[in-house]
Amino acid sequence: MEDQDLPGVLVSGFEGPSGICKDHVGELQKYFNLITMQDLLENKTQVGPKIQAAYIWNRKPAIDQELLQSLPALKIVANAGAGLDHLDLKLIASFGVKVANTPQAVSSPTADMGMALLLAAARRVVEGHQLATSPDTKSFSTNWLGQEVTGSTLGIIGMGSIGYKVAQRARAFEMNILYHNRKRRKSEEEEAVGATYCERLDDLLQRSDFVMLAMSLTPQTQRLIGRRELRLMKPTAILVNIGRGLLVDQDALVEALQTGVIGAAALDVSYPEPLPSLPHLYFRDHPLLKLKNVTLTPHIGSATHQARWQMMENLIGSILASLNGLPIPNEVLLK
């Protein structure tokens, strides 16, 4: 089949941080005629009607009313990842367009990342690396200590598939596991990982040595962890965030880390991303970038070769199913 005969799929572009994965282009082109946002902007009337699916990678392209209006043949928005906070699901549905995502592909690597951050913050791995590679051997002191993970208490907020996989991993570290979730898990699921349900978030915060945020961002969870919640945590507690930056009041977090209200934070997500996002700033001066008790990673929960490839394959499957009028794997249904 000629490229032009294949269904048109909109992608953000091929280059830069918001472009699709370079290694995936050849595979995607076996099924689709890839049309970039640039192509669309340059020739809206010709190109727009050819686009039947939008392929969202790294939250791009942004799907808004104007874009939806310019894509009369659009059938599906196929989103890489589990989080949907960047998509207006009601607006998309009002155009008769379906949405699919890739929750299974991201849950294990994101849970791995949660444990990696927890361990790194507890055992001060990044600082340790800096010490070990520093020519100044005098700065190493025998009082340079971290927190024990084995036998400590982990509070998981958000016990969806990522939170549950964190619990499975934490069990192998003999951690006591507490969790808070909109809905309590079945008792056999709790027993399988040895997790105790905390109906009150405050309880979990007061009892945990580590607090892991693994829930999605919604109007209800935005800034769930604020000044009051941070003050409930132990002064030695470590906050790990693998969800979204906006789950936490970041100013309150900075203050808590600076004043010893909590011990440390390990964050794969922040707002904005990266910190700060203003492109004209030549230096990066956000306080979170300077604190020794902060471990930061650039939103890489699902950033493994295997997960990203699986995400792409899942999206191809969802797009093809929708274009062929078949049940769509991983379709996101409006609640």
Q: What is the 3-state secondary structure (H, E, C) of 235-269?
A: CCCEEEECCCHHHECHHHHHHHHHHCCCCEEEECC
- Of 169, 207, 244, 308, which residue is the catalytic one? 244
- Of 169, 185, 299, 308, which residue is the catalytic one? 299
* Cβ at position 28, least distance to ligand DGY in Å: 17
Q: How far apart are CA 1 and CA 123, in angstroms?
A: 55
Burial class of residue 19 in the structure, from the number of CB atoms within 10 Å of its CB (0-12 exposed, 13-18 middle, 19+ buried): middle
Q: Are 65 and 91 in contact (CB under 8 A)?
A: yes
Q: On the CB side of 28, how many CA atoms lie within 13 Å of its CA? A: 31
Known catalytic residue: 244?
yes
Q: Quick one: which of 36, 270, 295, 302 contacts ligand DGY (CB under 6 A)? A: 302
89-128 residues near ligand DGY, rule: CB under 6 A: 106
How far does Cα 193 stand from its chain's mean position?
Answer: 23
CB closer to ligand DGY, 106 vs 252: 106
* Cβ at position 136, least distance to ligand DGY in Å: 38
Q: How many residues bind ligand DGY (CB under 6 A)?
A: 6
Hey, what are 53's tokens?
A: 């699916």
Phi, psi torsion values for 111, nearest 5 degrees: -65, -40
Q: How far apart are CA 220 and CA 214, in angstroms?
A: 14
Per the listing, tokens 């960047």 go with: 86
Known catalytic residue: 299?
yes
Cα R_g (the chain), whole angstroms = 22
CB closer to ligand DGY, 50 vs 60: 60
75-94 residues near ligand DGY, rule: CB under 6 A: 81-83
Q: How far apart are CA 241 and CA 251, in angstroms?
A: 15
Residues 23-62 as x/- pattern, contact with ligand DGY by CB under 6 A: ----------------------------------------
Q: Are 132 and 307 in contact (CB under 8 A)?
A: no
CB closer to ligand DGY, 106 vs 232: 106
CB closer to ligand DGY, 82 vs 175: 82
Residues 252-291 as x/- pattern, contact with ligand DGY by CB under 6 A: ----------------------------------------
Q: How far apart are CA 266 and CA 309, in angstroms?
A: 27
CB closer to ligand DGY, 60 vs 124: 60
- Of 273, 286, 313, 331, which residue is the catalytic one? 273
Known catalytic residue: 174?
no
* Cβ at position 301, least distance to ligand DGY in Å: 6
Applying CB under 6 A, which residues contact ligand DGY? 81-83, 106, 301-302
Could you give the residue numbers annotated as active site? Answer: 244, 273, 299
